[in-house]
Structure 1
Amino acid sequence: MKKAARYVKLVEWSDEDNCFVGSCPNLFYGGCHGSDEKLVFAELCRIVEEILELYEAENKPLPPITSGYDWANTITDTTATS
């Protein structure tokens, strides 16, 4: 398994920007954008891999992984109290 698979990748629609925005919690937010959701996700995956390669090339510790975290219920709990 690639290290990038251990990081959650999010693609969501932004009404403000009128496009899809891709981000990866703990690595970056709003890293790529576009009108095609699938293309934004593909670009997001490429960026995550590149960032992790940079961390390793610079001998920096990787940020905490975000996979395995219950994102759906966290989002649901947050919106339920709003």
Structure 2
Amino acid sequence: MNAAARYVKIVEWSDDDQCFVGSCPGLFYGGCHGDDEKSVFAELCQIVEETVKLYEAESRPLPPVTSGYDWANTIMNTTTTS
């Protein structure tokens, strides 16, 4: 497994922007957007890979990983108890 796989990648619909928005919380601010969900995810994965390579090229420590926290169930439990 490569380092980029250790970061959660989120693609969600934005009513404000009327498009899909991709982000990787904890690794970088911003992200990518577009009309096709699969294309946005593919672009997001590429951006994450490039960001990890930049950190490594600059010998900077990567931010804490965001995978392994069962985000889907955490989100579901939060929205059902609110």
Same fold (TM over 0.5): yes
**Which digits, 9 at most, give the CA deviation of each residue in 1:21-41, with x for residues without a partner?**
000121124400000000000
Structure 1 residue runs of 4+, over 2 Å off? none
Question: Which residue number corresponds to residue 60 of structure 1?
Answer: 60
- RMSD of aligned alpha carbons: 1.1
Could you tell me the TM-score, scaled by structure 2's length? Answer: 0.92
Q: What count of residue pairs does the alignment treat as equivalent?
A: 82
* TM-score of the pair, normalised by structure 1: 0.92
Gap regions ≥5 residues in structure 2: none
Which digits, 9 at most, give the CA deviation of each residue in 1:16-74, with x for residues without a partner? 10000000121124400000000000000000000001111111100111111110122
Unaligned runs of 5+ in 1: none
Map 1:1-82; keep pairs closer than 5 Å: 1-82=1-82
Percent of aligned positions that are identical: 78
Q: Which has the higher strand share?
A: 1
